[in-house]
Structure 1
Amino acid sequence: MILDRLSDTFLELYDKLDLQIVAFAVPGTFLAFHLVPWLWDPHGLRAYPGPFIAKFSDIWLTWVSKGAHRSELVHEAHLKYGPVVRIAPNHLSIANPEALQIVYAHGNGALKSIFYDAFVSIRRGLFNVRDRNEHTRKRKIVSHIFSQKNVLEFEPHIRMYVAQLQNQWDRLYDMAVKGMSGNDGEGGWEGRDGRLWLDCLPWANYLAFDIIGDLAFGEPFGMLQAAKDSAVVPKDQKSMMKSYGKEDASIEVMEIPAVQILNGRGEFSLTMGTLPPYWRPIARRLPGFRQGAQDVKNLAGIAIAAVAKRLATPTDRNDLLSNLQAGRDSEGKPLGREELTAEALTLLIAGSDTTSNSTCAILYYLAKNRGAQEKLQKELDEHLGTENEFTATEAQVKNLPYLDACINEGLRLHSTSSVGLPREVPEGGMMVCGQFFAEGTVLSVPSYTIHRDRGVWGEDFEAYRPERWFERDQTLMQKTFNPFSYGPRACVGRNLASMELLIILASIMRRYDIVLEDPDLILDTREGFLRKPLACRVGIKRRDI
Structure 2
Amino acid sequence: MSSVLQHIPPIDLHDFFTNIDLTTLAVAAPSLFILAHLVPYLWDSHAARSIPGPFLAKFTDAWLGLVAKNGHRSEVVHEMHQKYGPLVRLAPNHISIADPDALNIVYAHGNGALKSNFYDAFVSIRRGVFNTRDRQEHARKRKIVSHIFSQKSVVEFEPHIRQHVADLIAQWDHPPPPPDVRPGVNYLAFDIVGDLAFGAPFGMIAAAKDVAKVPRNQEGAMDSYGKDDSDEDAVEVPAVKILNGRGEYSMALGVLPPWWRPFVRMIPWYRRGSKDVKTLAGIAIMAVKKRLASPTDRVDLLSKLKAGRDSNGNPMGREELTAEALTLLIAGSDTTSNSTCAIIYHLAHNPHIQQRLHHELDEQLGTEDEIAATADQVKRLPYLEACINEGLRIHSTSAIGLPRVIPDGGLTILGHFFPAGTVVSVPSYSIHRDTAIWGEDVEDYRPERWFERDQAAMQKTFNPFSVGPRACVGRNLAFLELQIICASLLRRYEFVLESPDEPLGLQLQTSEGFLRKPLGCMVGIKRRDV
Q: Of the candidates 144, 160, 176, which is equivalent to residue 157 of structure 1? A: 160
| TM-superposition CA deviations, 1:121-177 (whole Å, max 9, x none) | 1100000000000000000000000011110000000000000010000123xxx3x
Residue 42 of structure 1: aligned partner = 45
Is contact 2:149–2:477 with CA below 8 Å preserved after alignment? yes
| 1:86 and 2:85 correspond | no
| 1:116 and 2:119 correspond | yes
TM, length-normalised to structure 1: 0.92
Q: Of the candidates 216, 219, 222, which is equivalent to residue 241 of structure 1? A: 222
Residue 58 of structure 1: aligned partner = 61
Residue 187 of structure 1: aligned partner = none
| TM-superposition CA deviations, 1:287-322 (whole Å, max 9, x none) | 121100000000000000000000000111110000
How far residue 433 of structure 1 moved from its aligned partner, in angstroms, is: 2.1
Is contact 1:218–1:319 with CA below 8 Å preserved after alignment? yes
Identity of aligned residues (%): 68
Residue 352 of structure 2: aligned partner = 371
| TM-superposition CA deviations, 1:27-75 (whole Å, max 9, x none) | 1111111111001111111000000000000011001000000000000
Alignment of 1:399-414 (within 5 A): 399-414=380-395
Residue 33 of structure 1: aligned partner = 36
SS at match of 1:232: strand
TM, length-normalised to structure 2: 0.95
Is contact 1:200–1:360 with CA below 8 Å preserved after alignment? yes
Q: What is the alpha-carbon root mean square deviation over aligned residues?
A: 1.3
How far residue 401 of structure 1 moved from its aligned partner, in angstroms, is: 1.0
Q: Of the candidates 13, 22, 33, which is equivalent to residue 25 of structure 2? A: 22
| 1:398 and 2:398 correspond | no
| TM-superposition CA deviations, 1:199-240 (whole Å, max 9, x none) | 011111000000000000000000001100000011211111
| 1:538 and 2:519 correspond | no
| TM-superposition CA deviations, 1:170-189 (whole Å, max 9, x none) | 123xxx3xxxxxxxxxxxxx
Counterpart AA for 1:525? T
Q: Of the candidates 69, 76, 81, which is equivalent to residue 79 of structure 2? A: 76
Residue 132 of structure 2: aligned partner = 129
How far apart are the structure 2 equivalents of 1:495 and 1:17? 64
Counterpart AA for 1:528? G
How far apart are the structure 1 equivalents of 2:150 and 2:250? 30
How far residue 15 of structure 1 moved from its aligned partner, in angstroms, is: 6.8
| 1:440 and 2:425 correspond | no
SS at match of 2:154: helix
Alignment of 1:282-431 (within 5 A): 282-431=263-412
Residue 173 of structure 2: aligned partner = 170
SS at match of 2:362: helix
| TM-superposition CA deviations, 1:422-443 (whole Å, max 9, x none) | 0000010012122211101100
How far apart are the structure 2 equivalents of 1:399 and 1:529? 33
Residue 3 of structure 2: aligned partner = none
Counterpart AA for 2:185? A
Is contact 1:239–1:251 with CA below 8 Å preserved after alignment? no
How far residue 242 of structure 1 moved from its aligned partner, in angstroms, is: 0.7
Q: Alignment length, in residue pairs?
A: 510
In structure 2, relative to structure 1, the CA distance for the partners of 1:436 and 1:324 (3 Å cut) is same
| TM-superposition CA deviations, 1:394-440 (whole Å, max 9, x none) | 10011311011000000000011000000000010012122211101
How far apart are the structure 1 equivalents of 2:233 and 2:40? 51
SS at match of 2:214: strand
Counterpart AA for 1:120? V
Is contact 1:199–1:537 with CA below 8 Å preserved after alignment? yes
How far apart are the structure 2 equivalents of 1:340 and 1:332? 15
In structure 2, relative to structure 1, the CA distance for the partners of 1:164 and 1:42 (3 Å cut) is same
SS at match of 1:199: coil
In structure 2, relative to structure 1, the CA distance for the partners of 1:78 and 1:317 (3 Å cut) is same
Q: Of the candidates 426, 437, 445, which is equivalent to residue 464 of structure 1? A: 445
How far apart are the structure 2 equivalents of 1:201 and 1:414? 15
How far apart are the structure 2 equivalents of 1:399 and 1:47? 51
How far apart are the structure 1 equivalents of 2:94 and 2:442? 27
Counterpart AA for 2:60? S
How far apart are the structure 2 equivalents of 1:358 and 1:500? 11
Is contact 2:229–2:293 with CA below 8 Å preserved after alignment? no
Q: Which has the higher mean CA deviation after the structures are superposed, 396-405 or 255-264? A: 396-405
Counterpart AA for 1:536? C
Residue 191 of structure 1: aligned partner = none
How far residue 387 of structure 1 moved from its aligned partner, in angstroms, is: 2.5
Counterpart AA for 1:526? S
How far residue 98 of structure 1 moved from its aligned partner, in angstroms, is: 0.6
Is contact 2:116–2:404 with CA below 8 Å preserved after alignment? yes
How far apart are the structure 2 equivalents of 1:374 and 1:33? 60
How far apart are the structure 1 equivalents of 2:76 and 2:209? 33
| 1:281 and 2:262 correspond | yes
Residue 468 of structure 2: aligned partner = 487
Is contact 2:172–2:178 with CA below 8 Å preserved after alignment? no
Q: Of the candidates 522, 525, 528, which is equivalent to residue 507 of structure 2? A: 522
How far apart are the structure 2 equivalents of 1:419 and 1:101? 16
| 1:257 and 2:238 correspond | yes
How far apart are the structure 2 equivalents of 1:303 and 1:311? 12
SS at match of 2:325: helix
How far apart are the structure 1 equivalents of 2:119 and 2:364? 44
Is contact 2:364–2:380 with CA below 8 Å preserved after alignment? no
How far apart are the structure 1 equivalents of 2:302 and 2:413? 40
How far apart are the structure 2 equivalents of 1:391 and 1:358? 18
Is contact 1:234–1:253 with CA below 8 Å preserved after alignment? yes
How far apart are the structure 1 equivalents of 2:28 and 2:379? 65
How far apart are the structure 2 equivalents of 1:372 and 1:249? 49
Counterpart AA for 2:457? L
Counterpart AA for 1:377? H
Q: Which has the higher mean CA deviation after the structures are superposed, 17-26 or 535-544? A: 17-26
How far residue 248 of structure 1 moved from its aligned partner, in angstroms, is: 4.4
How far apart are the structure 2 equivalents of 1:64 and 1:537? 27
How far residue 16 of structure 1 moved from its aligned partner, in angstroms, is: 8.6
How far residue 22 of structure 1 moved from its aligned partner, in angstroms, is: 1.8
| TM-superposition CA deviations, 1:227-277 (whole Å, max 9, x none) | 000000112111111110012459732111000000000000001101110
| TM-superposition CA deviations, 1:60-92 (whole Å, max 9, x none) | 100100000000000010011111000000000
Is contact 2:104–2:467 with CA below 8 Å preserved after alignment? yes
Q: Of the candidates 199, 202, 212, which is equivalent to residue 183 of structure 2? A: 202
Q: Which runs of 5+ in 1 are unaligned?
A: 1-13, 177-195
Is contact 1:413–1:462 with CA below 8 Å preserved after alignment? yes
Is contact 1:234–1:251 with CA below 8 Å preserved after alignment? no
How far residue 388 of structure 1 moved from its aligned partner, in angstroms, is: 4.1
How far residue 285 of structure 1 moved from its aligned partner, in angstroms, is: 1.5
How far apart are the structure 2 equivalents of 1:395 and 1:204? 23
How far apart are the structure 1 equivalents of 2:475 and 2:19? 64
SS at match of 1:334: coil
Is contact 1:234–1:252 with CA below 8 Å preserved after alignment? yes
